[in-house]
Chains A and B, each alone.
Chain A
């Protein structure tokens, strides 16, 4: 049996978040699987192993939590998710419900409004000239379309981003980021619990559609609010960081923005490539349900495996020039949305938002110039910026 290399590093420290790429390389090159003593877990950072773990949900389960915390050993900080933190066959049923709510047919109905909102947002930013690409675009745009599509009340939406930040911090170890987030969580949790109830969701929105599936018996009335909660948890901050990543890429690599401008139909792929390149969702855990072999090494039952999605998305074994942002790259197979049965259920909404914003930029903007320091926002799972001052000029 192959010996598993042990690495003494903390992939949830601020120093790591400042610049994860060199450490990702160390993790990939150390072996197909590594031991991280700091948190008593195994890690996989190469594409092949990350992909394999994601695609074997019965061996590498989600029902014991997709963060460091093992639900078989400690109580979850909130009622367990019935989709993210579930395994087949239970997961199959709830997943089918959200697949229907977020289907291509539904996206066709949303497309016109999402595109118009992106064009209006970019026009407004052009009139300003200089702005913060995170607050004024990456956050403002999803906030202008997603909560309405979900059917949320206008009041209380300021809780959405803090709640999402909390959820994604909670997957990490009990470090300062996680402890602070949970300590401040009570009002955000109360808002979300209320907003998941049927009477608080506007007709025609994703939330009302989920509750309607309880009428047809596909889920129970008690399950419906928990599935609405999944969209509130994972539907906003992820696209904020995805759009932020894409704008940051286009601002840093003007030749790529020029390519996109010359062919705005590349917008969808340019967004997809930004998701590969920056990997807004950096990591998830799985738990082994039996003794298993990875890359010739044996791992026991009940062990936590940390999947470095971001490292897999830049593994030179899988990608040519992985550290280059290329709007024409064939991005199929990247694990920025995960892979297999748990692959992001909101991926079509994310792509619709990303494509809408990038197409509007490609058609209306000539240049994007970074005019101040890009500062980072730290989270145990999400990678993105706090602030990105830019100036744009009209085409």
Chain B
């Protein structure tokens, strides 16, 4: 199972075993990761599952959709170049070791 590393704002890293096919948001909410709210349950409506993807990993992710790009303009914490919505990142075997940082706030 691929491991996804969630890094909290206090730099604490939490490695989670993920199921291939789940979204990174589902991995987080399924393991009670604080800092991912995911109000809309993965329907790309709310922008409360915002993460900063480690720069090394960014090129390995699928390109973002127009909807995700638009939603990212509305995130509560600062939007950065490496901002993504975790509900739109699907876990694949190549993402084993993925590092995502959690923002200070989601709402």
Q: Is there contact, CB below 8 Å, between B70 and A105?
A: yes
Q: Which of B9-17, B37-45, B93-101 contacts A (4 or more CB under 8 A)?
A: B37-45
Residues of chain A lying within 8 A (CB to CB) of residue B47: 104
Beyond A104-B74, A268-B107, A330-B32, whether A348 also contacts B43 by CB under 8 A is no
Q: Is the interface of B mostly helix, strand, loop or mixed?
A: loop
The 8 A CB mask of A311-354 against B (1 = contact, 0 = none) is 00000000000000000001011000101110101011001000
**Chain A CB within 8 A of B102 CB:** no
Q: Is there contact, CB below 8 Å, between A348 and B45?
A: yes
Q: Is there contact, CB below 8 Å, between A332 and B38?
A: yes
Q: How far is the CB of A55 from chain B (nearest CB, A)?
A: 9
Q: Which of B15-58 contact A (CB under 8 A)?
A: 29, 32, 34, 36-47
Q: Which of B61-107 contact A (CB under 8 A)?
A: 67, 70-71, 74, 107
Contact of A347 (CB < 8 Å), options: B36, B40, B70, B71: B40
**Chain B CB within 8 A of A108 CB:** yes
> How far, in angstroms, from A345 to B34 measured CA to CA in the complex?
25
Residues of chain B lying within 8 A (CB to CB) of residue A268: 107
A to B contact number (C-beta, < 8 Å): 44
> How far, in angstroms, from A58 to B75 measured CA to CA in the complex?
32
The 8 A CB mask of A339-379 against B (1 = contact, 0 = none) is 11101010110010000000000000000000000000000
Residues of chain A lying within 8 A (CB to CB) of residue B67: 99
Residues of chain A lying within 8 A (CB to CB) of residue B38: 332-333
Contact of B39 (CB < 8 Å), options: A99, A332, A340, A345: A332
Residues of chain B lying within 8 A (CB to CB) of residue A351: 39
Contact of B46 (CB < 8 Å), options: A108, A340, A348: A348
> How far, in angstroms, from A108 to B41 measured CA to CA in the complex?
20
> B34, B36, B74 — which one has the most chain A CB atoms within 10 A of its CB?
B74
Residues of chain A lying within 8 A (CB to CB) of residue B74: 104-105, 108
Q: How many residues of B contact A (CB 8 A)?
A: 20
Q: How far is the CB of A2 from chain B (nearest CB, A)?
A: 24
Q: Is there contact, CB below 8 Å, between A347 and B44?
A: no
Q: How far is the CB of A356 from chain B (nearest CB, A)?
A: 15
**Chain B CB within 8 A of A6 CB:** no
> How far, in angstroms, from A28 to B44 measured CA to CA in the complex?
31
> How far, in angstroms, from A184 to B66 measured CA to CA in the complex?
45
Residues of chain A lying within 8 A (CB to CB) of residue B46: 104, 347-348
Q: How far is the CB of A45 from chain B (nearest CB, A)?
A: 20
> How far, in angstroms, from A217 to B67 measured CA to CA in the complex?
18
> How far, in angstroms, from A268 to B32 measured CA to CA in the complex?
20
Q: Is there contact, CB below 8 Å, between A332 and B29?
A: yes
Beyond A99-B44, A108-B74, whether A347 also contacts B39 by CB under 8 A is yes
Beyond A332-B29, A332-B37, whether A103 also contacts B43 by CB under 8 A is no
> A268, A272, A332, A348 — which one has the most chain B CB atoms within 10 A of its CB?
A332
Residues of chain B lying within 8 A (CB to CB) of residue A332: 29, 36-39
Residue of B whose beta carbon sits closest to that of A99:
B45
> A268, A341, A347 — which one has the most chain B CB atoms within 10 A of its CB?
A347
Q: Is there contact, CB below 8 Å, between A104 and B45?
A: yes
> How far, in angstroms, from A347 to B38 measured CA to CA in the complex?
12
Contact of B41 (CB < 8 Å), options: A105, A272, A337, A348: A337
Residues of chain A lying within 8 A (CB to CB) of residue B107: 268
Extra A-B contacts (13), CB below 8 Å, given A333-B41, A345-B43: A99-B67, A104-B46, A105-B70, A105-B74, A330-B32, A332-B38, A337-B41, A340-B41, A340-B42, A343-B40, A343-B41, A343-B43, A348-B40
A positions within 8 Å CB-CB of B: 99, 102-105, 108, 268, 272, 330, 332-333, 337, 339-341, 343, 345, 347-348, 351
